[in-house]
A and B are shown apart, each in its own frame.
Chain A
Amino acid sequence: MNGALVPIQNCTVDMIRIKCPYCGERDHSEFTYGGDASIKYPALDASESEWTKAIFFRENIRGMQKETWHHTNGCRLWLEVERSTITHEIKSVKACHPQIEKITKHK
């Protein structure tokens, strides 16, 4: 999907709704966009070029990407969201920190 330039259809233009695992479905304006969630930081003693790649270089996917959102005006959880950068459709939402799952399940 990344390469092919498909026409933009059924694109969400008003409000993205994010299903926060703790608070439920909310407007995206309650959240702060973080960024690419696929980035893995290298070891502290890794080379400068590895750190440069992790901090400054992005795949910038045109299609479904994993990204982080912070529920700033809600439970303040950091979430990992799978969202299309073409249509804004959301495929999945989960808490970034694996331990949080226990709390959200309890809820």
Chain B
Amino acid sequence: MTRFNAWNVFKNGFTGQKNWDRQWRDPVPKKEYDIIIIGGGLHGLATAYYLAKNHNKKNIAVLEKGWIGGGNAGRNTTIVRSNYMLPGNHEFYEHSLKLWENLSHDLNYNVMFSQRAHVSLYHSPGAKDGAARRYNIMRLHGTDAELWDLDTLKKNIPHLNYNDARFPIMGAAVQRRAGNARHDSAVWGYARAADSLGVDILQNCEVSGVKRSQNNIESLETSRGTIKAKKVGFAVAGHTSVLWQMAGLGNLPIESHKLQAFVTEAVKPLLDHVVVYGVGGAHFYISQSDKGSMVFGGDLDWYKSYAQRGNLPMVQDTAEAAMAIMPCLGRIRLLRHWAGVMDMSMDGSFFICKTPLSNLYLNAGWNYGGFKASPASGWYFADLIANERPHKHVQNHNLERFEKGINIDERGAGPDPKLHG
């Protein structure tokens, strides 16, 4: 693999930039691998990368049913933040943010990480107190956090509806180190970096069956033949339950819901930050891409679904929220909207854990937050697979936490997956 650097870009300039190597190989599946990660999204590829890089593991394959970047890696709103409060979550997401800060250098691939600040509006004194509590807890744990009063907010983001909003804007809770990254670059960067460390990325390789003995997995039936594995990791987001039942393991504390995202035509620079608006029934988050498009999203479609397509009532809800907070968007045209299948968990937190099978490991339950989590997810999942014990930061992110009564419910919404948005 040719490294990306100024000299190589200059050198390839003489041949019209046409002689670059392909970014990752297209290998023929081997009969057996030491470690197979199912799911070639950000989490699966990051896991394979850190297994090879941090733990010096060889003979790894990543199985992807479609193509790299075709699942939720290409269906998100690219927000990266670490404004979490609960033990286990704040260490995890802060670690993820730190990995993002150095990811372009680490992968030798520009993931276009832009720390433009995550600005979460509040609309009442009570909401301000709630935000102050959460953001003070973050500060005590060493994460950056601040509150902006109305004047500071107006100076930084002049285009919000400060005049006649139904819920008047009173200020914002801000994490300056948060921001956006380029989703395609992140997933391609991990694929390329993992491949260069010898990981086989097998695209169009859908798992159709799991052959197991009493307490471990022996081999996987795939659309590209039977592949044996010494260890298997599931990292398939919305389809985790399907795979889990293929392995004969029964039910999971997960429901699959769809979440939409929207992108508009490109406009001149309008918004320098990620802005989040959530009050009453509304939920809305928006940023502007480097191309100039406004990228935004809202709530889940509210009913369980595996369809990667969103419904129109939610388009209306999201548009209403957009108009409530940024009326200047009123005449902008929507170019595309799409939906991804979310693995919504019962307490809104993820799973990086062992399973009832001795050589199977689970990475799932990412709810709304899979994109920002992906570097740390791969980091800790690789650590779990290599060392066969959970790291202390994810020791409670397991399937047993519900019976033990130690749910990690950041939002306090209770055991209803659709409420953990």
A contact residues vs B (CB 8 Å cutoff): 2-5, 8, 11-16, 27-29, 32-33, 35-36, 48-49, 52-53, 55-60, 62, 65, 67, 83, 85-88
Contacts and interface: CB of A to CB of B under 8 A. Distances in A.
B346 A5 contact: no
B253 to A, nearest CB: 5
B253 A56 contact: yes
B348 interface: no
Interface string B289-315: 000000000000011111111111100
A58 B255 contact: yes
Interface stretch (B69-77, B152-160, B239-247, B323-331): B239-247
B304 A3 contact: no
B251 interface: yes
Nearest to A14: B312
Contacts of B256: 60, 62, 85
Contacts of A52: 402-403
A13 B206 contact: no
A3 B185 CA distance: 32
Nearest to B65: A5
Size bin of chain B's contact surface: 20 to 34
A27 B313 CA distance: 10
B354 to A, nearest CB: 17
Given A4-B208, A28-B303, A56-B253, 18 more contacts: A5-B239, A5-B242, A15-B311, A27-B313, A32-B302, A35-B416, A35-B418, A53-B251, A57-B251, A57-B253, A58-B253, A59-B245, A60-B252, A60-B304, A67-B303, A85-B304, A86-B307, A87-B307
Contacts of A27: 313
A63 to B, nearest CB: 9
Contacts of A15: 311-313
Contact of B251 (A48, A58, A67, A86): A58
A18 to B, nearest CB: 10
B311 A56 contact: no
A48 B404 CA distance: 9
Interface in B243-279: 245-246, 250-256
B311 A60 contact: no
Given A33-B418, A53-B251, A60-B241, A65 B304 contact: yes
Interface string B341-357: 00000100000000000
Among A32, A48, A67, A88, max chain B CB count under 10 A is at: A88
Contact of B309 (A11, A59, A62): A11
A33 B257 CA distance: 12
Contact of B254 (A29, A35, A60): A60
A10 to B, nearest CB: 10
B306 A86 contact: yes
Contacts of B198: none
Given A52-B402, A62-B306, A13 B312 contact: yes
A55 B242 contact: no
Nearest to B315: A14
B29 interface: no
B242 A62 contact: yes
21 contacts: A5-B206, A13-B307, A13-B310, A14-B312, A27-B313, A35-B255, A48-B403, A49-B403, A52-B402, A55-B415, A56-B346, A57-B250, A57-B251, A57-B252, A60-B251, A62-B256, A62-B306, A65-B304, A67-B303, A86-B307, A87-B307
